[in-house]
Amino acid sequence: MTIVLGVLGFIVAWLIFTFNKLVSLKNQVANAFKQIDVQLKRRYDLIPNLVNAVKGYMKFEQATLEKVIQARNQALSSTGAGVKQRAQNEGQLTQALGRLFALAESYPDLKANQNVRSLMEELAHTENQVSFSRQLYNDLVTRFNTAQQTFPNNFVAGTFGFSSAELFEIPEDRAAEREVPKVNLGD
């Protein structure tokens, strides 16, 4: 009888431990996603300031500036969308910003402007923070999904309705966004 109670006690303790571990990981994933939002908000706030600062210098590059603003607005409007849609919109914004940075390097007066340099450095720092936040989110999602899918945790996850979280990644059909933007001012 004592052995049966001991085994039952062990099983109950394991169930509680596993459930709590999955809840903890689920909450960490949610928090990491919100941290991405914090960095993206900062990014969205910096972009109009940068665009306004470079407008006077880049009169002939109006299309690039418009694409940056359009990509920003599209990314900003998708804050309630799923991970896949947000990743796609953020990828488009990252690509547009890459073109803007590359073009800004081609304008000596623009590069010398302290305000523009400061904004670009701040935006570059924010881009690094966004990348770090995405990496942290994906690491936590991987840990959460692995914890749910491994035996015997998968029984607890299935019983209590845990579901896999989505990674924040660029969809394969948008692989061009992974490439460095090319800028040719000779045309």
CATH number, domain containing residue 138 = 1.20.1440.20
Q: How far apart are alpha carbons 164 and 27 in whole angstroms?
A: 13
Q: How far apart are alpha carbons 59 and 178 in whole angstroms?
A: 28
Q: Is residue 23 part of a domain?
A: yes
Region 171-176: mean pLDDT is: 54
Q: Which of 29-33, 68-72, 157-161 has the lowest mean pLDDT?
A: 68-72
Q: Is the pLDDT confidence value at 85 over 60?
A: yes
Q: How far apart are alpha carbons 164 and 140 in whole angstroms?
A: 11
What pLDDT is recorded for position 112? 64
State percent of the chain over pLDDT 70. 86
Nearest by Cα to 25 from 150, 124, 180, 114: 150
Mean pLDDT score of the chain, rounded to an integer? Answer: 84
Region 98-124: mean pLDDT is: 78
Q: pLDDT tens, 47-68?
A: 888 888 777 776 667 788 888 8
Q: Predicted confidence band at 187 (pLDDT cuts at 50, 70, 90)?
A: very low
Q: Are 22 and 162 within 8 A, CB to CB?
A: yes
Q: Is the pLDDT confidence value at 31 over 50?
A: yes
CB atoms within 10 A of CB 65: 20
Q: Is residue 132 part of a domain?
A: yes
**Number of structural domains found in the chain:** 1
What pLDDT is recorded for position 184? 45
Q: Is residue 183 part of a domain?
A: no
What pLDDT is recorded for position 179? 54
Q: Is residue 184 part of a domain?
A: no
Q: Which of 3-12, 150-159, 168-177 has the lowest mean pLDDT?
A: 168-177
Q: Which of 153-157, 164-168, 169-173 has the lowest mean pLDDT?
A: 169-173
Q: Is residue 120 part of a domain?
A: yes
Q: pLDDT tens, 94-104?
A: 888 888 888 77
SS3 78: coil
**Where in the sequence is the domain holding 82, given as residue range(s)?**
2-178
Q: Is residue 109 part of a domain?
A: yes
What pLDDT is recorded for position 111? 64
State percent of the chain over pLDDT 90. 37
Q: Is residue 163 part of a domain?
A: yes
Q: Is residue 44 part of a domain?
A: yes
